Each structure stands twice: as structure tokens, then as C-alpha cells.
């Protein structure tokens, strides 16, 4: 028997599993049904196992077939990654990068970085998903996931901290002139506070001074699951927010917003880049990682 074409057999196996039909897999791949059937047969002989249980009406994947399918996905992705990387080393960086970023940070920071990166590397296509929901990196829907968090749990992911942002309590000078400047965290209970939480029930702001933490429970004047919403309300003199610095740093620098409770510190918010540990890193993704690290150091 002729030597098995393993790459083609992996493609055939993947197509048959996903199409749930030899006939549909053949149409997708542009092969004959006979060739698809022979490819699976040769793969079963090579692996010395049954991949499918077939009858006249039904086809079911065996446990060995499921394991082989998962390996086929990984091996084909590695092959495509190798092909793309070799192409990139011989020409300009090309291809698509799929990135997931948090919404507020994406709008405030990443949008500007993205424009600069795409101007530098115009042949690279970008697919950006903005979401504050948990993104499963292992599923492989994204080449790179950027996540804001206090800390990250240990995992099988390759994780790199890119930057640390502070939270600042701030308001407009007009609001403070009318309502007074809070001198201690407990004073916030007498102010209109703009409160972020994703769950809808988090009402606590924490401040630290001299190694002591003060928790303040607040009834929000405005509540949202996205801090970027607060910026316009702050500039319209509607209250005080405890907000990531990247959303308001330009407004603070211009004097349109003023930090309060500067003697107290707040929790940090770290920006991490995440990707699967076993994933190959194409040149275009290496360039994006290097670019982000360089730009965020500023």
C-alpha cells in the first residue's frame, strides 16, 4: 500500500468530523468521496484504531477518533503557523491577527496603538474583539488576549504583564466648588458617586493609608458596567468617580478633572497579554507583542 499522505489525511479527518458526512467533507475539500473514504481507511491502518463507527444511516466518532480529531486540529494549526511564518520571513509581514481587548482600555488606549501599528505594518489584517466578559484563551478563537485584572491565577497560558494602571478618585473643579472636596474616604457618602461594577451589586470602594484599609459602601448616583461611560458625566460636573487613570489622564493633565483623596492609595489594575503555551508564534504576532511592550513602556 502506498505511503499515507498524513497532512491530507488530517485535513480529511477534520472535515469529516465537522461536516458529519464523508460526502460533505469531499465537497468541502474538492475531493471524491472515494478518496475521502480511502484516506480515512489508511489513517485507521496507520494508527491501528477505528476512528468512526459507520452504518447506512449514521456515523459516530469513536473515543480514538475524538482524540485524533483534537490532535489534527493542533497539528494543522501548527502547519499553517509554520507556513505563514516562513512566508513572512521571505516578504513583508502578512496575515491576520485576532485580538481580544477590554472595552474601556480598547477605546481609550488600544484604538490609538492599533492605528499606529496598522500604519507601520499595512499588510497585517487585524480582527479585534472588545469585551469585558471572560475570554477563554484555550479555545483558540484569538491569537492574543489582553486582560485587565488585579492578579491572574496560575495557568497553562503564556502570560506577560505589560503595564500597571492606578485607580484615581476625581471630579471636575466645578463639581468640587459646589459640593466640597472630600478629605477622607467616608466623606464620599455625602457625594454623588459614579460606581463601576460588572455584577451590579458591588458598592464598595477601598482606600489605603499607613497600611490601613478603609472600605466605603456607597449608594451610586450613576452605576455602570463600563467605566468609560463616566468620563462625560465627570466632565459635566455630575459627581466623583474612582476610575482607571487611562480613561481620564488627559483630562487630569488639562485640569478639566481634579484628583481627590490623593493621600490614599487604591488597588492597581494590571494589563496582561495571554496566549496558549503550546501555540506557535508567527512573525506578525511577535511584531505586535514587541510593539505593545515598547509603546506601553512610555
**Amino acid 233: pLDDT:** 96
Rounded average pLDDT over 102-117: 94
Three-class SS of the chain:
CCCCCHHHHHHHHHHHHHHCCHHHHHHHHCCCHHHHHHHHHHHHHHHCCCCEEECCCCEEECHHHHHHHHHHHHHHHHHHHHHHHHHHHHCCCCEEEEEEECHHHHHHHHHHHHHHHHHHCCCEEEEEEECCCCCCCCCCCCCEEEEEECCCCCCCEEEEEEEEEEEEEEECHHHHHHHCCCCCHHHHHHCCEEEECCCCCCCEEEEEECCEEEEEECCCCEEECCHHHHHHHHHCCCCEEEEEHHHHHHHHHHCCCEEECCCCECCEEEEEEEEECCCCCCHHHHHHHHHHHHHHCC
Q: Which class in CATH covers the domain with range 165-269?
A: alpha beta
What percent of the chain shows pLDDT beyond 70?
89
> For residues 210 and 201, which has the higher predicted lDDT (pLDDT)?
210
pLDDT at 59: 83
Burial category of 262 from C-beta neighbours within 10 Å (exposed 0-12, middle 13-18, buried 19 and up): exposed
Same fold, 93-154+271-296 and 165-269: yes
Q: Which residue has the higher pLDDT, 25 or 138?
A: 25
Whether 147 and 274 have beta carbons less than 8 Å apart is answered as yes
Average pLDDT, the chain: 86
Residue 108 confidence (pLDDT): 93
pLDDT of residue 86: 67
Q: Where are the domains of the chain?
A: 6-89, 93-154+271-296, 165-269
Indicate the pLDDT class of residue 1, thresholds 50, 70 and 90. very low
How sure is the predictor about 164, in pLDDT bands with cuts at 50, 70 and 90? Answer: very high
What CATH number should be reported for the domain whose range is 93-154+271-296? 3.40.190.10
Burial code of 31-69, b = ≥16 C-beta within 10 A, e = fewer? beeeebbbbbebbbeebeeebbeeeeeeeebeeebeebb
Residue 157, pLDDT above cutoff 80: no
Q: Which three cell numbers stand for residue 155?
A: 495557568
Q: What is the CATH number of domain 6-89?
A: 1.10.10.10
34's grid cell: 472515494
Q: Among 13-17, 207-211, 238-242, name the one with the lowest average pLDDT.
A: 13-17
Q: Alpha-carbon distance 84 to 13, whole Å?
A: 22
- Given a cut of 60, whether residue 194 has pLDDT beyond it is yes
Contact 227, 247 (CB under 8 A): yes
At residue 2, the pLDDT reads 44
Question: d(Cα 221, Cα 200) in Å, to the nearest integer?
Answer: 13
pLDDT at 25: 87
Nearest Cα residue to 17 out of 47, 48, 51: 51
Amino acid at each position: 500500500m502506498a505511503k499515507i499522505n498524513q497532512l491530507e489525511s488530517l485535513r480529511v479527518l477534520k472535515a469529516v468530523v465537522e461536516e458529519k458526512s464523508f460526502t460533505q467533507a469531499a465537497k468541502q475539500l474538492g475531493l471524491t468521496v472515494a478518496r475521502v473514504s480511502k484516506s480515512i481507511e489508511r489513517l485507521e491502518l496507520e494508527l491501528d484504531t477505528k476512528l468512526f463507527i459507520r452504518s447506512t444511516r449514521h456515523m459516530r466518532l469513536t473515543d480514538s477518533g475524538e482524540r485524533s480529531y483534537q490532535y489534527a486540529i493542533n497539528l494543522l494549526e501548527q502547519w499553517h503557523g509554520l507556513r505563514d511564518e516562513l512566508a513572512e520571513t521571505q516578504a513583508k509581514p502578512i496575515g491576520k491577527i485576532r485580538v481580544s481587548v477590554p472595552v474601556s482600555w480598547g477605546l481609550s488606549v488600544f484604538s490609538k496603538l492599533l492605528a499606529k501599528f496598522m500604519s507601520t505594518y499595512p499588510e497585517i489584517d487585524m480582527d479585534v474583539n472588545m469585551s469585558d466578559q471572560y475570554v477563554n484563551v484555550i479555545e483558540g478563537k484569538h491569537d492574543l488576549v489582553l486582560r485587565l485584572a488585579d492578579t491572574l491565577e496560575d495557568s497553562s497560558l503564556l502570560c506577560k504583564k505589560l503595564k500597571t494602571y492606578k485607580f484615581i478618585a476625581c471630579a471636575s473643579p466645578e463639581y468640587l466648588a459646589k459640593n466640597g472636596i472630600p478629605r477622607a474616604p467616608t466623606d464620599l457618602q455625602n457625594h454623588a458617586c459614579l460606581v463601576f461594577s460588572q455584577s451590579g451589586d458591588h458598592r464598595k470602594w477601598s482606600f489605603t493609608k499607613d497600611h490601613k484599609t478603609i472600605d466605603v459602601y456607597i449608594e451610586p448616583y450613576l452605576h455602570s458596567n463600563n467605566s468609560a461611560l463616566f468620563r462625560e458625566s465627570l466632565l459635566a460636573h455630575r459627581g466623583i468617580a474612582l476610575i482607571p487613570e487611562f480613561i481620564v489622564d488627559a483630562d487630569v493633565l488639562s485640569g478639566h478633572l481634579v484628583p481627590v483623596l490623593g493621600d490614599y492609595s487604591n488597588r492597581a489594575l494590571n494589563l496582561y497579554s495571554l496566549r496558549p503555551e503550546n501555540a506557535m508564534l508567527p512573525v506578525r504576532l511577535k511584531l505586535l507583542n514587541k510593539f505593545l511592550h515598547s509603546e506601553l513602556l512610555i
